[in-house]
């Protein structure tokens, strides 16, 4: 574990963004910083990308620190939250964007790949949400990440969609378990979005076909999803225990 601190304690609201070094996580971290949050950028292994995210935030006048932690390891995640509290004075929002995806039909799915997705996507969400439920200040928000494939039932996504179904179940129940705490719990379920996680391993024909599914006839962008995160982290106090399918209208 390592931390790069760029500022001292601040009176601003504070967000932790897991998977914050790339893709939707990075865009969410930058958007929340632009909204005035101090941001802890969690990353799994690529310190250079995490440092680049912190640099982008600080160059734009924001406040950020990068911290390495395995989201499925409770000791690492506890240290991540400790860093947020020690550096910025508390935690208001947790955006859990870290995740892994391996695609194959159920009959061909490698069980080691299944276990890896289970560990990161299910256990990771449980561990991060557990710390968030214990530590968030009143008026806070927990934002998990599901996927629109849970509802679309696309062949080849069996194992991945199963892990995201678990995320949705945790999200809806945790929202109710936090009754009286003034903390919202929601999940964002993106459709096809132009990130490395989505694009890797797909040919141009597949990408074009999936882009054409939405009535808006394009892939989503990380910025599109970050808009939803910003809404749920800020003004959306009456949106709670929901899964927001941000997919351009795919049904």
Q: In the prediction, which pLDDT does 162 show?
A: 97
Alpha carbons 246 and 147: distance in angstroms, whole number: 9
pLDDT at 21: 94
Task: Give how far Cα 165 sits from Cα of 33, 61, 159, Å.
Answer: 29, 38, 10
pLDDT at position 4: 45
Distance (Å, whole) CA 209 – CA 204: 9
The pLDDT of residue 7 is above 80: no
pLDDT of residue 10: 42
Average the pLDDT over each of 133-142, 174-183, 192-201 and give the range with the smallest value.
192-201
d(CA 118, CA 101): 10
In this predicted structure, the answer to whether residue 11 has a pLDDT above a threshold of 70 is no
**In which band, very low, low, confident or very high, does the pLDDT at 193 lie, cut at 50, 70 and 90?**
confident
pLDDT above 70 covers a percentage of the chain that reads 95
Task: Give me the pLDDT at residue 230, please.
Answer: 98
Break the chain into its structural domains and give their ranges: 3-244
**23-44 per-position pLDDT tens digit:** 999 999 999 999 999 999 999 9
**Looking at the domain that runs over 3-244, which CATH code has it been given?**
3.40.50.720
Alpha-carbon span 118 to 122, nearest angstrom = 5
Catalytic residues: 160
**pLDDT one-digit tens code per residue, 200-231:** 777 888 888 888 888 998 888 999 999 999 99
- CB-based burial of residue 60 (10 Å sphere; 0-12 exposed, 13-18 middle, 19+ buried)? exposed
Could you tell me the pLDDT band of residue 113, with boundaries at 50, 70 and 90?
A: very high
C-alpha 224/C-alpha 104 separation (Å) is: 27
Q: What is the pLDDT of residues 55-70, one digit of tens each?
A: 999 999 999 999 999 9
Q: Which residue has the higher pLDDT, 142 or 203?
A: 142
Mean of pLDDT values over 154-181:
97
Distance in Å from the first CA to the final CA of the chain: 41
């Amino acid at each position: 574990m390592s931390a790069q601190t760029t500022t001292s304690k601040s009176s601003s609201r504070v967000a932790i963004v897991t998977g914050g070094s790339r893709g939707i996580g990075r865009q969410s971290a930058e958007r929340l910083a632009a909204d005035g949050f101090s941001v802890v950028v969690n990353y799994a292994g690529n310190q250079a990308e995490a440092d680049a995210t912190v640099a982008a935030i600080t160059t734009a006048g924001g406040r950020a620190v990068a911290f390495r932690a395995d989201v499925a390891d409770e000791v690492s995640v506890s240290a991540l939250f400790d860093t947020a509290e020690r550096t910025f004075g508390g935690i208001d929002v947790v955006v859990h964007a870290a995740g892994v995806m391996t695609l194959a039909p159920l009959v061909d799915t490698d069980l080691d790949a299944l276990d890896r997705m289970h560990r990161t996507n299910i256990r990771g969400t449980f561990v991060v949400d557990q710390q968030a439920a214990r530590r968030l200040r009143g008026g806070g928000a927990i934002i998990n990440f599901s996927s629109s494939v849970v509802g679309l039932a696309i062949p080849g996504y069996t194992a991945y969609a199963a892990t995201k179904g678990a995320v949705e179940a945790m999200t809806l129940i945790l929202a109710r378990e936090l009754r009286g705490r003034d903390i919202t719990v929601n999940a964002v379920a993106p459709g096809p979005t132009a990130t490395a996680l989505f694009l890797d391993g797909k040919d141009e024909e597949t990408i074009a076909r999936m882009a054409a599914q939405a009535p808006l006839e394009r892939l989503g962008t990380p910025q599109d999803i970050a808009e939803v995160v910003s809404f749920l982290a800020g003004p959306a106090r009456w949106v709670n225990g929901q899964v927001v399918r941000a997919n351009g209208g795919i049904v």
